[in-house]
Amino acid sequence: MSRARSTGPKLTATARLVTIAVDDTSQSGVGLGVPHFSAWSPNGERIALTTIGEFGIGTILLGSYSGEIPKGIALGAPLYVNWAPDGTAILIHQAEALHLISVTGSTSGFPVAIGNGSISFNSPAWSPDSQSFAHIESLGGNISVVLTQKSDLDNGEIIADAGIRVGLGWSPDGKQLAIARSSGAAFKTLSPYSPQESGEKIIYEGDIRAFWWSPDSSKLAIVEDSPDIDLAHRWSVLDVETGGVTPLVTQVLLDEFLFVQVFFDQYTESYRIWSPDSSQLVVTGAILEVVTVLQPGGAAELPEVFDSQVWVLDATGVEDPVSIGRGTIASWSPH
């Protein structure tokens, strides 16, 4: 790891950090079963907690209001939960069905079914203004990307053809919707769709596992399979306007961080890979020097044990990666 240095930048944070865990001795905790995923409401008054319990995987709403009782809102896998950015609604994608639940103060409404549903995507994508959301529907034998207005849940607008598997993500400024399509495990194309121009174009092709918008909406961090080393992944930064690609590092992701990438569209609301100023990324795992690892003939000689570190990466690729210590999961503070 000759490119890495061990002294990192001084990082400060003012955000509140809450952890969820199970007491191994009493099996008590925030919710019954093993905590699987937790998502804060944007106003900080609710947690949508997905757990594995007696009846399988399910989601409950937890709140801070006096005397409030946790409320179950979904049961059964696969299950994905996405808050509206203004905290007034939550989308539940369970199996192929998509439902919206309104949330006001200490109360939440009944689930309202959205469209015909589909199993070709994981999480729907809210627009930043909370007025609409993108999702996938199976309509008349076709799989389509649909944009639905929160004020008119019965009439969604088809904006693009989809695929066997689709990943969706709005840019933070709300001007573009990134659409990744796949016919297998990895996404093969990445296309921004512009509602203003009612069109999209492919700006990247590869074996993409995940993508993450930068806060300034100008770039996408891409995780893809390494073309040289089995089970390794490569990080790059894609300039959305020009299509220019900046390779950053090749690394081995441990299970915890790999899990985040597999379900990136669920974690994008609660997990921050980008620094607030869009200049750096934080990743975890073991960085590989490809020229050192690859042997003559193309075989890779990997270490027997990987030392997972927390790495800060320069988005321009100019500065060397910085290790700030051992770790398996890391996330930037919001500010």
pLDDT, one tens digit per residue, over 166-198 is 999 999 999 999 999 987 788 999 999 998 887
The CA distance from 142 to 303, in Å, is 46
List the single range of 123-132, 205-214, 221-230 with lowest mean pLDDT: 221-230
Residue 257, both tokens? 């961080």
Range in 142-146, 224-228, 244-248, 286-290 the model is least confident about: 286-290
Which residues share a beta bridge with 200? 193
Q: Residue 44 belongs to what domain range?
A: 31-113
Note the pTM of the prediction, 2 decimals: 0.83
Task: Let me know if residue 99 belongs to a domain.
Answer: yes
CA separation for the pair 163, 166 (Å, rounded): 6
Using DSSP, state whether 81 is helix, strand or coil: strand
The verdict on residue 93 lying in a domain is yes
Record the tokens describing residue 235, joined without a space.
């990080």
Residue 130 has pLDDT above 90, yes or no: yes
Q: Tokens standing for 141?
A: 């034998």
Element (H, E) at 291: helix 290-293
Cβ atoms of residues 58 and 76 within 8 Å = yes
Q: Are 259 and 195 in contact (CB under 8 A)?
A: no
Q: Is residue 209 part of a domain?
A: no
* 8 Å CB contact between 203 and 164: no
- The full DSSP string for 194-243 is ETTTTEE---EEEEEEEEEE-TTSSEEEEEEE-SSSTT-EEEEEEETTT-
In a domain, 50, yes or no: yes
Establish if 107 belongs to a structural domain: yes
Percent of the chain with pLDDT strictly greater than 90: 42
Q: Report if residue 95 sits inside a domain.
A: yes
Closest CA to 134 of 174, 171, 103, 177: 177
Reference 216, options 195, 245, 237; nearest CA is 237
Closest C-alpha among 188, 236, 181, 198 to residue 214? 236
> How far apart are the C-alpha atoms of 210 and 262, rounded to whole Å?
7
Considering the domain boundaries, does residue 55 fall inside one? yes
Q: With a cut of 60, say whether residue 121 has pLDDT above it.
A: yes
Give me the pLDDT at residue 297, please: 63
User: Higher confidence at residue 230 or residue 311?
Assistant: 311
H/E stretch holding 154: strand 152-161
Decide if 41 is inside a domain. yes
Q: How many domains does the chain have?
A: 1
The secondary structure element, H or E, covering residue 290 is helix 290-293
DSSP class of 333:
-
Average pLDDT along the chain: 82
Is-cis flag, bond preceding 78, omega within 30? yes
How is residue 168 annotated by DSSP? E
